[in-house]
């Protein structure tokens, strides 16, 4: 849905020279690199999940837990369900 017409660079807006980046030090899946500005980006750039270190599936699971419960969910319960720390929950 984000890249309906193919990947575009969120930094310069180019769409013709986007390619898969080679992992150098840290393996990051689905990392794209722009051929024009040479900057790396992922699907999360420009969203509320951009600076988070939590995997996207855990974010979506937490959002579902918050929306599906009628009176909300306690952070200790989120901590147990998501298998993360209290601070993260």
Which residue stretches of 1-89 are H helix? 56-68, 75-82
Q: How many CB atoms lie within 10 A of CB 60?
A: 11
* pLDDT, mean over the chain: 81
Instruction: Quote the Cα angle for 61-7-56, to 5°.
Output: 15
Average pLDDT over residues 84-88: 89
pLDDT range class, residue 72, cuts 50, 70, 90: confident
pLDDT at 24: 67
Q: Which residues of 22-46 are buried (b: 16+ CB within 10 A; e: fewer)?
A: eeeeeeeeeebbbeeeeeebbbebe
For tokens 């974010």, what's the residue?
Answer: 59
For residue range 50-71, list pLDDT tens digits in order.
788 888 889 899 899 999 988 8
Residue spans of the domains in the chain: they are: 1-50, 53-89
* Portion of the chain with pLDDT greater than 70, in percent: 89
């Amino acid at each position: 849905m984000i890249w309906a017409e193919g990947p575009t660079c969120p930094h310069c807006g180019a769409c013709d020279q986007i390619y898969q980046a080679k992992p150098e030090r840290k393996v990051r899946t689905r990392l794209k690199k722009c051929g024009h500005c040479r900057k790396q980006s992922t699907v999360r750039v420009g969203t509320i999940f951009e600076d988070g270190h939590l995997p996207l599936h855990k974010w979506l699971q937490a959002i579902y837990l918050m929306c599906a419960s009628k009176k909300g969910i306690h952070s200790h319960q989120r901590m147990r369900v998501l298998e993360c720390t209290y601070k993260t929950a």
